[in-house]
Homo-oligomer: A and B are copies of this chain.
Amino acid sequence: MGANSPDSLTPAIAADHPGVGELFAALAYGEISAFYRLAEDAQMSPTLQGKVALASMAAAEMSHFETLQSALTARGHDVYSAMKPFVAALDDYHASTHPSTWLESLVKAYVGDGIAADFYLEIADSLDPSVAAVVREVLAETGHSEFVVHEVSAAVRSSTQEKDRLMLWGRRLLGEAITQAQYVMAQRQDLTELVITASGDLSGIAAMFDRMQERHAERMTVLGLV
């Protein structure tokens, strides 16, 4: 929870805060890049079931993209121009965390999406309800993670070596995600101001990253990576 708890009367960040468009745009490009990463990673799937599971996850990202596109259009933004500032950071994140095995791609889909969702949901608590509703809608669980949890936890139960590898992989995903998030914020003033307001102050941001790290550890536990 941010500086502004959900039961406050007035959210800290008004619906017309200039960072809101940037927030939606960052989320929108996140959906597009996640779509293509999932579609590409699915080629490593040893089974048709795995291919279908990743394709379903990818399709859910596109439905979220459409929600964000409508929200941006309603605010007078062109989604393509708005997304441009976030292309490099998100492409860099995916390039620096390119999975080399099917299990790595499953862990990335689950853990990477989880880290992003934590970050945006922390901020949502301080947003005007109309804005927070869009953020929560596009970050809602799509019910496709069961497949990932089942596949990964079964694999790591039967191989300590695989488990050690994937634990390191999870740590790397967290590190790269935080690096890229900080890089984005350093470049976009309105968005940075929004995140600082949502967190209260700079020490609030540090506390937020601590909470994200805890939730990351919880997700790793769910996958059997502990």
Contact in complex: A52, B32 (CB < 8 Å): yes
A218 to chain B, nearest CB (A): 29
Alpha-carbon distance A193/B191, docked complex (angstroms)? 62
Output the nearest chain B residue to A48 by Cβ-Cβ distance. B80
Oligomer: number of copies? 2
- Check: A36 CB closer than 8 A to any chain B CB: yes
Known contacts: A48-B80, A48-B83. The answer to whether A55 contacts B36 by CB under 8 A is yes
Contact in complex: A32, B55 (CB < 8 Å): yes
A196 to chain B, nearest CB (A): 29
Output the nearest chain B residue to A28 by Cβ-Cβ distance. B52
Output the nearest chain B residue to A81 by Cβ-Cβ distance. B48
Output the nearest chain B residue to A52 by Cβ-Cβ distance. B32
Alpha-carbon distance A36/B45, docked complex (angstroms)? 12
Alpha-carbon distance A98/B51, docked complex (angstroms)? 20
Contact with B along A5-44 (1 / 0, CB 8 A): 0000000000000000000000000001001100110110
Alpha-carbon distance A184/B128, docked complex (angstroms)? 56
Contact in complex: A52, B36 (CB < 8 Å): no
- Check: A56 CB closer than 8 A to any chain B CB: yes
Q: Which of B40, B56, B65, B83 contacts A62 (CB 8 A)?
A: B56
Q: Which of B49, B58, B84 contacts A39 (CB 8 A)?
A: B58
